[in-house]
A and B are shown apart, each in its own frame.
Chain A
Amino acid sequence: MSSWLDYTINGLIVGNVYALVAVGLALIFGVSRLINFAQGSIYLVGAYIGWVAVVQLHTPLPLTIIVVAATAAVVGLIIERFGLRPLQNSVRIAPLLATIGISFVLDQLVMLTFSPNPRALPSQLPDVRFQLGGGTIGPLDLLIAGVGISSALLLFVFLRYSKLGWAVRAASQDRDAAMQMGVDVNRVNQAVFGIAAALGGVSGMLVGMYYNQIDTAMSLQATLKGVVAEVVGGAGNVPGAVIGSLLLGLVESYGVAVFGTSYRNLFAFLLLVVVLVLRPNGLFASARQAPPEPLTGTFIAPSRPVRIPRWVLAVAAAGFAVLPLFPVSFYVLQTLINAWLLGMLALSLTLVAGTMGQVSLGHAALLAIGAYTSALLSLTLNVPVGLAVIGGGLVSAALGTLLISPSFRLRGHYVSIATLAIGEIVSLVILNWESVTRGPIGISGIPPLSLFGYDLISPSSVYWFSLAVMVVLALLQGRLLTSHLGRSFRAIRDDDIAARAYGLSLNRYKSLAFIFGGFAAGVSGGIAAHLYSYINHETFNTQQSILALTVVILGGLGNVVGAIVGSVALVGLPEVFRIAAEYRILIYGIVLLLLVRFRPQGLLGTI
């Protein structure tokens, strides 16, 4: 039977693993003020390189570690040189989005190379356990602790006694001043990415050995946990990241001990949200200044939107409306229905992220809330489906806004982290709240769409319905943008301090944006639930949040027409070119990277 000591040991060991990820994130944040969302992908790469080394090359353990660290470091250097350095002078959101794109590309490459099926990664260590007080400890635990502690020591010596280490510290405290001392910031960035990647890669390998299993889902989890640990310790604070990691490991381990395994991540993200709200600069922020987050106005690429005459839009809408009257295949209609549903989500996100400047990475949670609400209303309370969908929109608007409201006082990157965490929390609550959501089993037998008693079963009726809903939402949002309210949204986005000085209440306006956005996304989720007839906690995941963000960037942040054009393009073009499903995410990642680099204002421009 596991004792408390066992849970403590387990918490500290897992904490060590997180620390290897979080320290790298902290180094990178320190120097570049960037949350590196690709850190988990490097961890994934490390795990698979470890697998290749152990299983195929039969390397001894020390050599395995060296091979993994070196390969991961090279990947990190490549990311820095080709993914991020070209973006040095672009808007602040660009490198953030680039790391997201890079992470998609890396994860997919690993998946395509090794297949998505889990693999066993043997630890090469004898499987014995030593008694320690009331608990037990094994050689692998000792190895992980040893790697963690010696990495921390090496890093300390590097930062304290080497010239490059001094440069890293100086650059992370004041980049311009460091340059004026002759520090070459590019070299510092290289060093930091190399170190972060080496540590992250080794961490992935150790985790694979610890659980004797690796799979491609590890990547996002590692990024999330690393970010949690780093923010808890204070973004950019390296010793803080270590302590934050150990704390996170312990909180999770004790949480699991009390409530069970499926609650592990819930504790991690709740810890994050609590810290973000109460101590946004981390637990140890007393001596440090808040990392300066820029005003959102400099966070997003300014541009002049492309003006499209109304009659063109009207003709396009009419064209799409009469499409089902022609002999088009079911497949084409199906694809466009998906585009309209994604379009509603994109409308929501482009309002929140573009017009309001709150770059949300957890938008799929709004879909999930709408979908579950609508499904449950119609299934358990026999509410007519048309009303249930509207109910889904309303609940998503209310609940989504409520959940997101703690992050209203945050800016820039912190908004993205908070929304990501809130999105994860929603899906974990769905997973664990079995009495209402039916937990991991999901909800099946959801009735099909119907309107005034008529079931919408034929593809063309579903098509018309979703197109009509999307067009109505788009028209409303277009009105909103040109209204006084829309101007206030943009004023807050461009300079929240000035907007506040003019007497605009930030909380009220951010709430209004999320209410409208939550409604659109909730309706989209509701319709989807009735179309799919089965949903579970994974139906609406982070991949969709990121896909929506890519759509919004493609169309131009804040741009209503752009959101729809982007949806049609990203859903439709892969179909047109018959790109196999497993390559799509890869393509989306590449599209995001290319956009950020070459057309950050999107196709139609930001508004």
Chain B
Amino acid sequence: MTTSAPEPLLALSGVNTFYGQAQVHFDLSITVARGHIVCLLGGNASGKSTTMKIILGLVKPRSGEVSFDGASLVGLSTPQIVRRGIASVPEARRLFADMSVRENILMGAFVRNDRDAVAQDLDRMLTLFPKLGQRLSQRAGSLSGGEQQMVAMARALMSRPRMIVMDEPTMGLSPLYVDRVLELIRTINQEGVSVFMVEQNASLALEIAHEAYVLQTGKIVLSGPARALKDDPRVRDAYLGGSEAA
């Protein structure tokens, strides 16, 4: 089932996670090859967001290994993990609502100290997300959902990450915005950033992903190249099963 890529950029293996008594992950193993877009699909409460939190060190697994670029992330704090080159677009965006759009985007460069290059990158974000140009001094909390998604993505890119993890980047967006977000993810990826994304919207996510995993109540029930999964009837089955159980 594992991809035959050389050394993966990110690897989770045998991860078991608990919230108190309740087990959320059962022996979870996921790999993200360098330069790939990998998608984690699953119904509500299947443990997708928790997977993101494990990667970012916000939740600690009870057992198992998480490694990035060959080095273990276990025991590192979230800021340390971010400094290794992982940026994130959290579930529901999580902008700093009372800070301006500019400040939000610049917060993404918090781990960097090269001021001039950061300023250049800010300009680059404005070419990538032209709409944000007029909104730079606006409170981030007052933006529309789609605009907030753009800010969240720009913010993540500002750290010049090697990998971005995204939690349901298309959630709550109109079809027009969904297409733009997916297009942007592809652009980001073509510039060399690996992407790990969590999605509920399987058909759209499989359009742009290289590989995908299907999570059901904490267990990987399917995985493989996105192209193969797209035509797999079990993807639909897994979905229906997952959402009915929830």
Report which A residues bind B (CB closer than 8 A).
163, 166-167, 169-170, 173-174, 176-185, 287-289
User: Does chain A have a CB within 8 A of B77?
Assistant: yes
Q: Which residues of A contact B56 (CB under 8 A)?
A: 179-180
Q: Bound state CA distance, A174 and B110, in angstroms?
A: 15
* Cβ-defined contact, A173 with B108, below 8 A: no
Contact A180-B88, Cβ < 8 Å, known A166-B103, A170-B107: yes
Contact A181-B98, Cβ < 8 Å, known A166-B103, A176-B58: no
| B141, closest chain A residue (CB) | A287
Q: Which residues of A contact B78 (CB under 8 A)?
A: 179-180, 182
* Cβ-defined contact, A180 with B96, below 8 A: no
Q: Which residues of B contact A180 (CB under 8 A)?
A: 56, 58, 78, 82, 87-88, 90, 94
Q: Which residues of A contact B139 (CB under 8 A)?
A: 287
* Cβ-defined contact, A166 with B98, below 8 A: no
**Least Cβ–Cβ distance between B136 and chain A, in angstroms:** 16
Give the total of B residues in contact with A, Cβ under 8 Å.
26
| Contact residues, B19-62 vs A (CB, 8 A) | 56, 58
| B83, closest chain A residue (CB) | A182
Q: Which residues of B contact A184 (CB under 8 A)?
A: 77, 79
* Cβ-defined contact, A181 with B94, below 8 A: no
- Among B58, B82, B94, B95, which residue has its beta carbon within 8 angstroms of that of A182? B82
Q: Bound state CA distance, A288 and B142, in angstroms?
A: 11
Cβ proximity bits B82-104 to A, threshold 8 Å, 1 near / 0 not: 11000110100011111100010
Q: Which residues of B contact A287 (CB under 8 A)?
A: 98, 139, 141
Report which B residues bind A (CB closer than 8 A).
56, 58, 77-79, 82-83, 87-88, 90, 94-99, 103, 106-108, 110-111, 139, 141, 155, 159
* Cβ-defined contact, B79 with A174, below 8 A: no
| A163, closest chain B residue (CB) | B110
Q: Which residues of A contact B82 (CB under 8 A)?
A: 179-182
A selection of 27 A-B contacts at a CB cut-off of 8 Å is A166-B99, A166-B106, A166-B110, A167-B110, A169-B96, A170-B99, A173-B96, A173-B97, A173-B98, A176-B58, A176-B94, A177-B90, A177-B94, A178-B96, A179-B77, A179-B78, A179-B79, A180-B56, A180-B87, A180-B94, A181-B111, A182-B82, A184-B77, A185-B79, A287-B98, A287-B141, A288-B98
| B140, closest chain A residue (CB) | A173
Number of A-B residue pairs with CB-CB distance less than 8 Å in the complex they form: 69
Q: Which residues of A contact B79 (CB under 8 A)?
A: 179, 182-185
* Cβ-defined contact, B110 with A182, below 8 A: yes
**Least Cβ–Cβ distance between B109 and chain A, in angstroms:** 9
Q: Bound state CA distance, A223 and B138, in angstroms?
A: 36
Q: Which residues of A contact B110 (CB under 8 A)?
A: 163, 166-167, 170, 181-183
Q: Which residues of A contact B141 (CB under 8 A)?
A: 287
Q: Which residues of B contact A181 (CB under 8 A)?
A: 82, 107-108, 110-111, 155, 159
**Least Cβ–Cβ distance between A268 and chain B, in angstroms:** 28
Interface centre among B79, B90, B111, B155 (most CB of A within 10 A): B79
Q: Which residues of B contact A177 (CB under 8 A)?
A: 90, 94-96
* Cβ-defined contact, A182 with B111, below 8 A: yes
Q: Bound state CA distance, A174 and B87, in angstroms?
A: 16
| A160, closest chain B residue (CB) | B103
**Least Cβ–Cβ distance between B239 and chain A, in angstroms:** 28
Q: Which residues of B contact A176 (CB under 8 A)?
A: 58, 90, 94
Q: Bound state CA distance, A169 and B95, in angstroms?
A: 12
Contact A173-B99, Cβ < 8 Å, known A163-B110, A180-B82: yes
| A177, closest chain B residue (CB) | B94
Interface centre among A179, A180, A287 (most CB of B within 10 A): A180
**Least Cβ–Cβ distance between B202 and chain A, in angstroms:** 26
**Least Cβ–Cβ distance between A31 and chain B, in angstroms:** 13
Q: Which residues of A contact B83 (CB under 8 A)?
A: 182
* Cβ-defined contact, B99 with A179, below 8 A: no
| A185, closest chain B residue (CB) | B79
**Least Cβ–Cβ distance between A186 and chain B, in angstroms:** 9
Q: Bound state CA distance, A179 and B79, in angstroms?
A: 6
Q: Which residues of B contact A173 (CB under 8 A)?
A: 96-99
Give 5 closest A-B pairs by Cβ, nearest first: A182-B111, A182-B82, A177-B94, A179-B78, A173-B96
Q: Bound state CA distance, A602 and B79, in angstroms?
A: 35
**Least Cβ–Cβ distance between B211 and chain A, in angstroms:** 24
| B56, closest chain A residue (CB) | A180
| B96, closest chain A residue (CB) | A173
**Least Cβ–Cβ distance between B167 and chain A, in angstroms:** 11
Q: Which residues of B contact A178 (CB under 8 A)?
A: 96, 107
* Cβ-defined contact, A166 with B107, below 8 A: yes
Q: Bound state CA distance, A174 and B107, in angstroms?
A: 12
Q: Which residues of B contact A167 (CB under 8 A)?
A: 110
Q: Bound state CA distance, A498 and B143, in angstroms?
A: 32
| B107, closest chain A residue (CB) | A181
Q: Bound state CA distance, A35 and B61, in angstroms?
A: 31
Q: Bound state CA distance, A176 and B27, in angstroms?
A: 26
Q: Which residues of A contact B108 (CB under 8 A)?
A: 181
Q: Add 19 more A-B contacts to A179-B79, A181-B159 (CB < 8 A).
A: A163-B110, A166-B99, A166-B106, A167-B110, A170-B107, A173-B98, A174-B97, A176-B58, A177-B94, A177-B95, A181-B82, A181-B107, A181-B111, A182-B82, A182-B83, A182-B111, A182-B159, A183-B79, A287-B139
